[in-house]
Amino acid sequence: MLTIFSAFDERARPKGSRDPLGAEATWSHLGRKLVGNLTTVTANLDNFIVALLCCEFANLPAKDADVQERYLRCEQLGAYLRLAARDISNGLLGVSRARSNFAANKIRLGKSEDAQLLADQASYGLWGLYSTALDSAGLIAGDRRRPTAGGQALLGKIVASLGAQNWAALTALADADTVERARVEALAPAFDAMLRDPALRAAVVEALLSRHKDCVLQGELYTLTGAYLEAGGATGEGIGPLCAYALASGKSSPAIRHVMRQVGEIDPVLRRADLVMSWLQSRADTPLDELAALLAPFLDGVAPGAAWRDLPHLPHRDFLAKFDDACAAGRADDLIHTVLAQNKQVMGLRGGAAWVEFDAARRLVVRVRNDRSTDLGRLAGDDGGWHHSYFLASFLAISSQGRP
């Protein structure tokens, strides 16, 4: 629930709908030491293959010079081809609208509102979400998303798997303002067979993940992840087992083990900070002394971490160190003040007011409430989960999708 305290003072209006302590900047910083190109939303290999085809089609010589519109048309057609072959839901961006549009005998393509798969397909579809990863992998370049030499080599394999005749049929359909459902259904089996091609999928994964010019550890992570999967490593249990494997493997370098230890130690700290913040958001009008008395018993047994503290450029490192130390020492008052100060600083940088703070009577004022129950018993314990992805979840997902 959002409460506006003053209609006249904009500083009292909370801004930023999530991440009140700036955790994303912290875990992203560590994650980028391991994964240079993927994001939390680029976890579908089919989307990468379709995105490359969209880049190729968008840059073909054509009377229509609107590269973005041509890209969107190809993305839309790719969605319908995937739906025609299998009624899928996972990974396809804009699947609900795509299903609705595909129910008609004739389907519009383009930038018009009724053709787009999302309210803003350019921003939230493949053009906006998958291009950075392809660019960072050296497969496309520039605002036109033009395939590079490496991208063209990979596209050659994609088109060869699809078949030259089918590629010509696809480009003809994508050039049209409307397409007949029957023609989409006729091309769908070949398109689906291309997406399922094991050799092609393995080649795309290798091109995406096996190296990164600005992330020296990504190549090693690629090799370790392959060995982890080959050994039967789980893909549906989060990133914890992969991190444990990398730490235990005799093939891991000291550098990657060091980062994995940092990841393993910082995640519980971020989780605890989020837990305390969520709890405070549910304690409106509670005096400081009462808050501290309620919180203190749950701090027993919290052990501080060390591996992440030697990172001078870690975002919010000083806050996390103060928070971690206060937890370990059982200083509930300091812990509360540390969380409130961090929230005030983070929200101030976003141009808004703190979500929680004390008034002159040292009672908690809550601007952004949390109405869900918060289990403080989780502070000292390890719930076995990983609460931030470090981009490793996407890396593991893409790696596993490239295996037969």
User: Under a CB-based contact definition with an 8 Å cutoff, are residues 340 and 330 in contact?
Assistant: no
User: Under a CB-based contact definition with an 8 Å cutoff, are residues 290 and 370 in contact?
Assistant: no
Nearest one of 54, 250, 53, 246 to 155, comparing CA atoms: 53
The per-residue DSSP string of 207-262 comes to: HHHS--TT-TTHHHHHHHHHHHHHTT--SSS-SHHHHHHHHH-TTS-HHHHHHHHH
How far is 74 from 51, CA to CA, in rounded Å? Answer: 9
Which range, 189-203, 226-240, 254-268, is most confident? Answer: 189-203
DSSP letter at 297?
G
Q: Residues 53, 56, 61, 66: what is their CA dihedral angle, to the nearest 10 degrees?
A: 80
Residue 238 has pLDDT above 80, yes or no: yes
Residue 64 has pLDDT above 90, yes or no: no
Give the CA diameter of the chain: 76
Which residues, 6 or more positions from 65, have their beta carbon under 8 angstroms from its beta carbon? none
DSSP letter at 363?
B
How far is 175 from 70, CA to CA, in rounded Å? Answer: 8
Q: Where are the chain's structural domains?
A: 10-32+260-378, 45-209, 218-252+390-401
* Residues facing residue 178 across a β-bridge: 108
Average pLDDT, the chain: 90
**Structure-token match 């900070």, residue found:** 273
The total number of residues written for the chain in this structure: 404
What DSSP element (H or E) covers 357?
strand 356-358
Range from 120-134, 221-235, 302-316 carrying the lowest mean pLDDT: 302-316
pLDDT at res. 89: 66
How far is 200 from 157, CA to CA, in rounded Å? Answer: 7
Segment 57-82 mean pLDDT: 90
Rg (CA), the chain: 25
Model confidence at 63, pLDDT cuts 50, 70, 90, reads low
Q: Residues 215, 218, 219, 223: what is their CA dihedral angle, to the nearest 10 degrees?
A: 170
**Structure-token match 């206060």, residue found:** 326
CA 10 to chain centre: 31
pLDDT at res. 384: 63
Which two tokens mark 381? Answer: 């314990």
pLDDT at res. 185: 96
Residue 290 has pLDDT above 60, yes or no: yes
What DSSP element (H or E) covers 358?
strand 356-358
Per residue in 24-47, pLDDT (tens digit) is: 999 999 999 999 999 999 999 999
How far is 289 from 267, CA to CA, in rounded Å? Answer: 29
pLDDT-above-70 percentage for the chain: 94
Per residue in 341-386, pLDDT (tens digit) is: 999 999 999 999 999 999 999 999 999 999 888 888 888 776 667 8
What DSSP element (H or E) covers 160?
helix 149-162
Residue 93 has pLDDT above 70, yes or no: yes
How far is 252 from 259, CA to CA, in rounded Å? Answer: 11
Tell me the whole-structure pTM to 2 decimals: 0.89
